Chain A
């Protein structure tokens, strides 16, 4: 190639640059289409709220695979309880996420600007507390490092706890401190003060029980992630890393708080979600397919039966009682 004259080489380079730039631009402009989910009809009676391709939607609880009411509200995570709908808005290249708290008619009541990528979102059973987890890209400092931040908004008083990291930790009965503490997956009890969450520190991922007013947490059990308290407050659905190694995937199980017994669910695929209780017997969770889309599945909480496809092409499920 060096046998070409300098002019010829420059010319080839310029032509190639123009062609490549044209191709890249064309691809970018043509790739613009955002597939919008079309509404397939109104949904009567008790419903299930989900995200369809990032858009807040509802399906009938009695016919979750049937007609779907799709709104224009775009969220990365959504959860609803009582009269409160919470949404973590998607992060854009130049825009951060926000927590948007809405009423049942999706009228905005509060919004909180946040930094990080939406990860988990929960509204307490009463609809008063909203708890979220953000994944911070803290330029992972060790090879497998990452940081999360879990916060709580009291929608009644407007009080905001941006991070649990300042809470006093009691580990195995003793006070404990470590800079590597990360929290995720908060779930509130009925009193809107007691909560459960995951505390990751020192290579362990603990289930912790917390007291919001006292700003304390204490470890309950190891290898429990993304807890979800049952409506009757007696059990916790959670994911646990297979052999304690998240690289091997997670198993969805249910812990009985009084007896400490564990019931693995019939779901044997790796579940990377904070499960939702549809009622005191049934769990719902999202599974990602290999093409990147999500499906919502359900399984019995007592370990019986088999997983069932609940809502295809949807994630972030929450039951609405209206």
Chain B
């Protein structure tokens, strides 16, 4: 067993990121190539290949997010409960890989395609929290920002390569779509193999966690979130967790929700109106042809790719909450720009850049905060909770924005979103206080 690798800091490090993080980054890179290959051609396949009507496509596209949220929570908890983060993450990666073959097998059946896509997203839901927990367990607390930055950069690089690989396969196959699914499955299978071979197993007790009830949690992660139930010393940061935090129970998991990180994640979700809306408003404001639409996402991804690692490092140095707040300010800037009279290419470039800053400053950094807040034995549960809270809040805000758009028009709706984002800043500052 590679217990030593799980030791904070890890055995094999490259630069100052542990081998485990690099291995997980490689798995994410490969898996994102696979996922984006399918995403790139799916509309084409459904509408041009299978002749689906808009409404039928809409039904398929409205895949059951509710189920995947539940699975994410369950996945995080089970991974903690059986103390096998890698196994649960691996199951998620394998599910998504098999879903690619499912798409092929589904043929022209709408419900079956919907099912395959649901399995794909469920796999993603299942794996994300245990994987992020593995990153935190392989990284010393002071370098978490950098570790997540590197991981997200590799992830984004895969998302870039995916569509190119898909085009290559289409060129080989004479524009038939099915080989893209097969190739996507092969790529995903390679990702699973890399996970199995290069990410150390975590079946042994986590560092500092002893399984006997009543024992302590070493290096209590200094958060004050891990409260001691019934011990009378609730909230004494650092030593609070000493009492009996070592148990993975539903009650202990529920207690995580009382912390301040979950509301913080919800606030973050609430100020996010969604990529679709941002690009749609941008496309209308900049008076772009619809052919340019995908390029807006590419611009944002480029900024995300370039900035994830540096902003992660910056977060380690100047404080993670500061960087998250900066990201939210960038988001408010995006909404203000969309409302402003600015137009044309300057608007496009500025929005894409700021939107990329927002993602780079919040996505990995929030997980880095989570890595210092939740106790090691409930790390995956806590991360799943935070990610689910953010996702659920985002659904609410995108619906609200849609209503605002209809009622007030684009400009006012964007201004309202900017006001909400600015008002959320002090609230977020309070929620993230003392979370270095």
Interface residue ranges, A against B (CB under 8 Å): 1-2, 4, 9, 12-13, 16-17, 20-21, 23-25, 27-29, 31-32, 34, 76, 90-94, 96, 115-119, 135-146, 148, 178-180, 184, 202, 241, 246-247, 272, 288, 290-292, 294, 315
A143 contacts B61, CB within 8 Å?
yes
A292 contacts B108, CB within 8 Å?
yes
B59 contacts A91, CB within 8 Å?
no
Q: Which of A13, A31, A143, A272 touches B56 (beta carbons < 8 Å)?
A: A272
B109 contacts A25, CB within 8 Å?
no
State in angstroms the CA–CA spacing of A91 and B279 once bound together: 23
Chain B, range 47-102, C-beta contacts under 8 Å to A: 47-48, 50-51, 53-59, 61-62, 65
Q: In this assembly, does B209 line the interface, its C-beta being within 8 Å of a C-beta of chain A?
A: no
State in angstroms the CA–CA spacing of A17 and B276 once bound together: 35
Residues in B with CB closer than 8 Å to A137 are: 43, 47
For B269-281 the 0/1 string (1 means CB < 8 A from A) is: 0000011110110
Pick the most buried of B193, B197, B399: most chain A CB atoms within 10 A of its CB.
B197
Q: In this assembly, does B14 line the interface, its C-beta being within 8 Å of a C-beta of chain A?
A: no
Closest 6 pairs (CB-CB, A-B): A292-B108, A141-B276, A28-B179, A24-B183, A20-B186, A246-B55
| A224 CB to nearest B CB, Å | 14
Residues in B with CB closer than 8 Å to A292 are: 50-51, 107-108
Contacts across chains A and B counted by CB atoms under 8 Å: 158
Query: Could you give 25 example pairs across A and B, Cβ below 8 Å?
Result: A1-B196, A2-B1, A2-B197, A20-B186, A24-B179, A28-B172, A28-B179, A90-B48, A91-B44, A93-B166, A94-B167, A116-B290, A117-B48, A119-B53, A139-B276, A140-B58, A141-B274, A144-B61, A146-B55, A146-B58, A178-B406, A184-B54, A272-B55, A290-B107, A290-B109
State in angstroms the CA–CA spacing of A32 and B187 once bound together: 20
B107 contacts A28, CB within 8 Å?
no
Q: In this assembly, does B190 line the interface, its C-beta being within 8 Å of a C-beta of chain A?
A: yes
Interface of A is mostly: loop
| B396 CB to nearest A CB, Å | 12
Residues in B with CB closer than 8 Å to A94 are: 167
| B250 CB to nearest A CB, Å | 30
Q: In this assembly, does B169 line the interface, its C-beta being within 8 Å of a C-beta of chain A?
A: yes
| B399 CB to nearest A CB, Å | 7
B182 contacts A28, CB within 8 Å?
yes
A31 contacts B178, CB within 8 Å?
yes
B410 contacts A144, CB within 8 Å?
no
The answer to whether A31 and B179 touch (CB under 8 A), given A2-B2, A179-B410, is yes
Residues in A with CB closer than 8 Å to B108 are: 288, 290-292
Residues in A with CB closer than 8 Å to B275 are: 139
Q: Which of A4, A21, A90, A116 touches B197 (beta carbons < 8 Å)?
A: A4
Q: Which residue of B lies closest to A182 (CB)?
A: B54
Residues in B with CB closer than 8 Å to A144 are: 58-59, 61-62
State in angstroms the CA–CA spacing of A146 and B43 once bound together: 11
| B52 CB to nearest A CB, Å | 9
Residues in A with CB closer than 8 Å to B62 are: 143-144
Pick the most buried of A13, A115, A142, A184: most chain B CB atoms within 10 A of its CB.
A142
State in angstroms the CA–CA spacing of A241 and B289 once bound together: 32
B107 contacts A31, CB within 8 Å?
no
| B421 CB to nearest A CB, Å | 18
State in angstroms the CA–CA spacing of A291 and B50 once bound together: 9
A179 contacts B405, CB within 8 Å?
yes
A247 contacts B59, CB within 8 Å?
yes
| B261 CB to nearest A CB, Å | 27
